[in-house]
Each structure stands twice: as structure tokens, then as C-alpha cells.
Amino acid sequence: MTGRGQGMRTIVTDLTATTQHKSIVGLKAVGVKVADYLQLIKLKLSALVLFTVALGYLLALRNSLSLVIGHWSFTLLGSFLVIAAANAFNQVWEREVDGRMRRTMNRPLPAERMSVKEALCAAILMALVGLTTLALTTNWLTTFLAGLALGLYVLAYTPLKQRTEFCTLVGAIAGALPPVMGWTAVRGEMNLEAFALFALQFLWQFPHFWAIAWLYRDDYQRAGFRMLPVCGAVETVTRQVFGYAVATVLVSLYPLLMRLKMPEVYLTVAVLAGAWLLWTALQFGDNPTRFMARRLLITADAYLPLVLLAWLFAR
């Protein structure tokens, strides 16, 4: 009996260990799948873009008491799904190109951890649900702008990256629409402030994009991308980076023409942040190294949230 009891305990122990092992393997598989989907939608980029939608929405409110949490939440949900869909479609389109670049070769599609069919179905589903959510909870103008941004990013910007350096212009239009979507979700119309939001984000994207392209231009050359930092002269790149930085800072002064509650607060932030961006752009022009390109990227990524938050605070 003692022997049988020990045998039963051994069997139970083995079964328990096997079950635990399968559970751990299953959890790891789920974790890998979740991580792959987060890569597919480029979570960090999607979150940054969604941040501009949220601020556009808040800037459009006429007073602090008019915020409707439910409406704001549905606007952000629909916008996030459309943004995520655009990034997923982009990775489906560029899966072969991504496989040739060190920076992107480990993404789920080139690494073959996810099938093209699965990624495409996920992108279509996110686009449909996102646009439907915006149509049912906001207005036709916001839904149209979301569809326009999605179409420009996927059907124009993505294929043009391998054909012309003007692809950045198209991509910047698509990238400047999200804060306007937030605005129109509240107002249902455009005005000068909405156009200023568009212009600020449109111009800001050029130093941002070109800093990235400068950092990874070897990869981009292997992929066949024809962005300005890849195929243009060094002097042309640095001159345009500084020119767009100047234009961005000038547009950032537009809110001072409005009736801000605390104009001195906004002026201080806009001037200091603008001086930081211009100084970094000048340093990149004097010494266009990878180190300075990374510093330019960090500065540009900090500049836009600082200015938008100051704009909101002063309103």
C-alpha cells in the first residue's frame, strides 16, 4: 500500500507539473501575441498621435464645464482604432521592406510570427470599428477627416516613400489631421484656431521625420526609401530642417492673437520651447551627426506636447 501511495503521489505531482508547464507556455504565447499586436499598431506612435486628438478636443471646449466624458472617450476610442489601423496597414504594405532593415526586421510580419491575412483582417476590423464609432458618436466632418487621414497615410504616403522625396509632404498632411479631428468632434466645424493647430503639427513633422530618417538613413537606403535625408544633399537637409523649425515657432505664436486667460504663460513656454528647438536645429546644421540627429528628435518630441499643453492651459 505504501508503494502504491507513493506511486499515486508521483503521478499527481507529475500531472501538476505538466499542467503548470502548459499554463506557463500558454501565458508566454499570449504575451508574445499581445506584444506582436502592440508592435503592429506601433503603440508609442499611436499614443502620441492620440494625445494630439485629445488636446484638440480640449482646446475646442468653450469652457471647462462643457467636457462630456462619454463623448470624449468615444472620440478617443474611434480615433485610436483608426490610427492603429493606419499603422497596421502600413506594416502589411511594407513587410518585405521591413525585413531588409535592422530597425524593423523583428516586427511580427517580417519575422513571420504573424500572417499577412491575420494582420490585414485586424487592420480592416480596426478601421471599420473606428470609423463607425466616430460616425455614431461625433459628426460627419470628424469621420471624414479620419477617413482622409487613413487614406492619405496608407494609399499615398506609404507607396510614395519608395518613389519620391515629396512623400513627407503627404505624410505630414495625414499626420496633422488628428488634432483637427479632436477639434471638429466638439465644434463640428473649422475655424482659424483649428487651422493653426493643423499648421503647427504639419510644420513640426518635418524636423521630426527628418531626424528619424537621418538616424536610420542606412536602413532607409537598403529599403529603397527616397526621403530627403536619404537622397538629398547634406546642406539641403540641414537648411530645410532649420527652415521648418523657424516656421513651426512662428505658427506657435498664433494663440497670442486670441483672448488667452494667461498670455504671459503661453508666451514664456512658446518662446523658451521655440528657442530650444531652433538651437538644436542650428546645432544639427553645424554638425549633422547621428548624435545631433537624436538630440533633434528628442527636442522635437518634447516641443509639441509642451506647446500644446501651454496653449490649453492658457485657454
Mean pLDDT of the chain: 88
pLDDT tens, residue by residue, 249-259: 999 999 998 87
pLDDT at 1 over 60: no
pLDDT at 195 over 70: yes
Q: What is the C-alpha to C-alpha distance for residues 6 and 24, in angstroms, rounded to an integer?
A: 27
The reported pLDDT for the residue numbered 187 is 93
Q: What is the CATH number of the domain that holds 232?
A: 1.20.120
Residues 170 and 217 reside in one and the same domain? no
Residues 42 and 179 reside in one and the same domain? yes
Residues 116 and 211 reside in one and the same domain? no
Across 90-104, 184-198, 214-228, the highest mean pLDDT is recorded for 184-198
Residues 93 and 236 reside in one and the same domain? no
Q: What is the C-alpha to C-alpha distance for residues 53 and 212, in angstroms, rounded to an integer?
A: 23
Residues 200 and 141 reside in one and the same domain? no
Q: Is residue 3 part of a domain?
A: no
Residues 204 and 175 reside in one and the same domain? no
Q: Is residue 299 part of a domain?
A: yes
The closest of 221, 183, 168 to 72, measured between CA atoms, is: 183
Residues 183 and 219 reside in one and the same domain? no
pLDDT at 3 over 60: no
- For 235, the grid coordinates are 546642406
Q: Is residue 28 part of a domain?
A: no
Residues 44 and 90 reside in one and the same domain? yes
Q: What is the CATH number of the domain that holds 39?
A: 1.10.357.140
Residues 139 and 240 reside in one and the same domain? no
Secondary structure E strands in 23-128 = none
Residues 185 and 198 reside in one and the same domain? no
Domain boundary among 153, 174, 190: 190
**Confidence bin at 227 (pLDDT 50/70/90):** confident
pLDDT at 224 over 90: no
Residues 115 and 210 reside in one and the same domain? no
How many other CB atoms sit within 10 Å of the CB of residue 102?
Answer: 10
Q: What is the C-alpha to C-alpha distance for residues 34 and 178, in angstroms, rounded to an integer?
A: 26
| Residue 65 CB partners (closer than 8 Å, separation 6+) | none
More confident residue, 258 or 38: 38
Domain boundary among 139, 164, 190: 190
How many domains is the chain built from? 2
pLDDT tens, residue by residue, 249-300: 999 999 998 878 888 999 999 999 999 999 999 999 999 999 999 999 999 9
pTM: 0.86
Which residue is associated with the grid cell 505504501?
2
pLDDT at 246 over 60: yes
Domain boundary among 155, 190, 225: 190
Mean pLDDT of 176-202: 95
Q: Do 176 and 194 meet the contact criterion of CB atoms below 8 Å apart?
A: no
Residues 57 and 177 reside in one and the same domain? yes
